[in-house]
Amino acid sequence: MTRTPSSPSSSCGTCDRPDCSAKAPRPGEGEAEFVERRELEARLCRIRHRIVVLSGKGGVGKSTVAVNLAAGLLQEGHTVGLLDVDLHGPSIPTMLGLERQRLGGNDREIHPADVGGLKVVSIGFFLSSPDDAVIWRGPLKMGAIKQFLKDVAWGDLDFLVIDSPPGTGDEPLSVCQLIGRLDGAVIVTTPQRVAAVDVRKSITFCRHLQVPVLGVVENMSGFACPKCGEVTQIFRTGGGRRIAEDMGIAFLGSIPLDPALADSGDGGEPFLRRHADSPTAERLRRLIRPIAALAAAEQRPA
């Protein structure tokens, strides 16, 4: 993934804003650093809304939510990118049927994959086999994430949805530090206390980094009968809602355990596309609404 940097004298040409932070070097910033920052900002300033999907634990459905959030925003007519920086367990390629995908590009930029209009980049595309493991320390991970943000030709996007690894480690930290202005984080949990306790850590992490929390999603909340769609509560539910209330943040909604949702993930197609008319799809669309409203709010006259 070696790219040729642009010359320091060339204009980034993205915007004419007099307050653009990429117009001039910051005090103490070296030339190479400035060129790199300007390239990063030139890409990012074409992305109107940046959403990171976080979870305290693995396996709670964070990637499932990220894929369907991206698919739902696309279905509403937005231009959407999906970036998978779950360096240790990239599941987006499987969930979108892109397991053997390789990306095109040239010496200046990488072209994202296109799945029915959704632009997708995953670390999984750069591994020689799905069994490969990424064994990198913090600075390498930060470098890879920076490259995804700086060198990928996302173009003009209404939304970039970023699927981050679970926890509060290097990758979510790198995303939050590099991306500048994040619209906010969607935090996914399951109803059980053991998962919900970690959500508090994710919320605290966002608060430290001044990343707004858009809300909590409680996934695997009850079981949706494949025959009639009725949701049966098999474990205690409501953990996500309680934490959201306790910590003064929005509760976006709950998603039941639905075998069709797991099948869609394994089958490489977003559930919202494959089962658009199901009750679970309706629940997913409901929890996406406040996020889609970010774009509507921006278009409304002041």
Binding site for ligand ADP (CB under 6 A): 55, 58-64, 91, 219-220, 255, 257-258, 261-262, 265
How many degrees, rounded to 5, is the angle at CA 93 between CA 88 and CA 94?
100
Question: What letter represents residue 46's amino acid?
Answer: R
Q: What is the Cα–Cα distance from 166 to 274, expressed in whole angstroms?
A: 26
- The CB-nearest residue to ligand ADP is 265
What is the distance between the terminal CA atoms of the chain, rounded to a whole angstrom? 43
Shortest spacing between CB 64 and ligand ADP, in angstroms: 3
Q: State the burial class of residue 25 (Cβ atoms within 10 Å of its Cβ: 0-12, 13-18, 19+).
A: middle
The residue (of 22 and 120) whose beta carbon lies closer to ligand ADP is 120
The residue (of 56 and 112) whose beta carbon lies closer to ligand ADP is 56
The residue (of 86 and 158) whose beta carbon lies closer to ligand ADP is 86
Identify the DSSP state of 166.
S
Shortest spacing between CB 274 and ligand ADP, in angstroms: 12
- Specify which residues 205 forms β-bridges with: none
Shortest spacing between CB 79 and ligand ADP, in angstroms: 24
Identify the DSSP state of 60.
S
Helix (H) or strand (E) holding 272: helix 271-274
Shortest spacing between CB 46 and ligand ADP, in angstroms: 27
Query: Would you say how long the chain is, in residues?
Result: 302
Q: What is the Cα–Cα distance from 201 to 247, expressed in whole angstroms?
A: 11
DSSP string covering 172-201, please?
A: HHHHHHHSS---EEEEEE-SSHHHHHHHHH
The residue (of 44 and 69) whose beta carbon lies closer to ligand ADP is 69
The residue (of 79 and 190) whose beta carbon lies closer to ligand ADP is 190
Shortest spacing between CB 103 and ligand ADP, in angstroms: 22
The residue (of 19 and 266) whose beta carbon lies closer to ligand ADP is 266
The residue (of 170 and 198) whose beta carbon lies closer to ligand ADP is 198
Shortest spacing between CB 51 and ligand ADP, in angstroms: 15
Q: What is the Cα–Cα distance from 15 to 140, expressed in whole angstroms?
A: 31
Helix (H) or strand (E) holding 298: helix 279-299
Shortest spacing between CB 116 and ligand ADP, in angstroms: 19
Q: What is the Cα–Cα distance from 231 to 81, expressed in whole angstroms?
A: 32
